[in-house]
Amino acid sequence: MSLSTHAEKFAAPRLDAQGRRQLIGLPRAELEKIMIAEGQPAFRAKQLWNWIYQRGVKDFDSMGNLPKDFRRQLGEKYVIDRARIVTEQKSDDGTIKWLLGLSDGQEVEMVFIPTPTRGTLCVSSQVGCTLTCRFCHTGTQPLVRNLGPHEMLQQILLAKDFLNEWPSEDEKQGRDLTNIVMMGMGEPLYNYDNVASALKICMDPDGLGISKRHITLSTSGVVPQIIQCGEELGVNLAISLHAPNNQLRSEIMPINQKYPLEDLLDACRNYPGLSPMRRITFEYVMLDGVNDAAEHAHELTRLLINIPCKINLIPFNAWEGSGFSCSQEEKINQFAKILENAGYDAPIRRPRGRDILAACGQLKSLSERLKKK
């Protein structure tokens, strides 16, 4: 299937149940065209962006600087709403996971992970995933559809609502949400155009104004889109590596048969803007008896030589029926030591939100889980 046929087949709905068009997620130029078609000056687009992304307004009525008639006119044809919160779960460690209901009844999860120095929102890009990485819970849910730009931005807007981050006269303007990671459900580079549209608005100073330095996109290794992502978006890149050779990687990540390590690492070496100050993150999930031997660590040190990077060691987050278990702590420490001795930064990532199945690779629509039961 060609990329455009794929995009069409799995497209997000553009209209809500009442046939109104979503204005969240439209590029500014397109919004300007709509304004002109509605008989308004183009600068209304900038005013709308300000209300939507900088003030968090959810209805046209509150937009004080727009003519009253025009506000009514907008409300008849357009929306700027949020996804519905189906469930909200809080972990003992402060991580919060939401299951969101989309306008067509589909569901996705998003996760907020607070630490003393930053607040990270883990955003989903698809309902389900085309890929079937063996250790990943999301990978057991077939791709239902792509998320549209508005559905990714709605996740961020919702988190800002929750954290009370919109300016107002009497309340504090929090800055709890500092970082965005495209690491929720789905493979963002298999939904590149929509992800790019959403992230452009996210980074635009007139949009959400979140710096590209604070945004990380994680991919299982869709090689053709990696360079494009670096050139057009310039966000931080994380690669789900998980194995130091093609044989093992193909076993646990079937995408490796299409884009083997040589091609993947070539794309990494050529990632625009790469330098010791702007490193690639390689993610490596620690699977007991599978990829955690000392020899694997040595192989990894040779594989990544000369790529400015750090290696995040992720203790495997268990889920029922996966057939994997997490490596012993001591094994993980030894693995890290070998990498560190070879000069790599190899932090061991502390799992967050495991008790509510919010940790990496545990996300899946709740409805899908219930269906299976």
Instruction: Please list the active-site residues.
Output: 109, 360
The residue written with tokens 């183009």 in the block is 42
CB 11 within 8 A of CB 126: no
Chain contacts with ligand SF4 (rule: CB under 6 A): 129, 131-133, 136, 138-139, 186-187, 220, 240, 361
Residue 219 within binding range of ligand SAH, rule CB under 6 A? yes
In the complex, least distance from residue 293 CB atom to ligand SAH, rounded to whole angstroms: 18
Of the residues 130, 291, 317, 365, which one makes contact with ligand SAH according to CB under 6 A = 317
Q: Which span (71-79, 80-88, 101-109, 128-136) binds ligand SAH, by CB under 6 A?
A: 128-136
Residue 192 within binding range of ligand SAH, rule CB under 6 A? no
Q: Which span (31-39, 172-180, 216-224, 259-267) binds ligand SAH, by CB under 6 A?
A: 216-224
Q: Could you give the CA distance from residue 104 to residue 123 in angstroms, rounded to a whole number?
A: 19
Of the residues 268, 361, 364, 365, which one makes contact with ligand SAH according to CB under 6 A = 361
The residue written with tokens 């149940």 in the block is 17
Pick 12 or 359: Cβ nearer ligand SAH: 359
User: What are the Cα distances from residue 12, in Å, to 8, 22, 113, 150, 153?
Assistant: 9, 11, 27, 9, 13
Q: DSSP characters for 315-365?
A: EPPP-TT----BPPHHHHHHHHHHHHHTT-B-PBPPP-SGGGT-STT----
Q: DSSP characters for 72-95?
A: HHHHHHEE----EEEEEEE-TTS-
Q: Could you give the CA distance from residue 181 to residue 122 in angstroms, rounded to a whole number?
A: 5
Of the residues 215, 314, 332, 339, which one makes contact with ligand SAH according to CB under 6 A = 314
Residue 136 within binding range of ligand SAH, rule CB under 6 A? yes
In the complex, least distance from residue 332 CB atom to ligand SF4, rounded to whole angstroms: 19
In the complex, least distance from residue 157 CB atom to ligand SAH, rounded to whole angstroms: 21
User: What are the Cα distances from residue 236, in Å, to 31, 151, 218, 343?
Assistant: 28, 21, 9, 21
DSSP state of 267: H
In the complex, least distance from residue 171 CB atom to ligand SAH, rounded to whole angstroms: 34
Pick 63 or 360: Cβ nearer ligand SAH: 360
Pick 148 or 221: Cβ nearer ligand SAH: 221
CB 123 within 8 A of CB 109: no
316 binds, options ligand SAH, ligand SF4, none, Cβ within 5 to 8 A by partner type: ligand SAH
Q: Could you give the CA distance from residue 15 to residue 213 in angstroms, rounded to a whole number?
A: 33
Q: Give the interface with ligand SAH as residue ranges (CB under 6 A).
A: 133, 135-136, 183, 187, 218-220, 240, 283, 285, 314, 316-317, 360-361
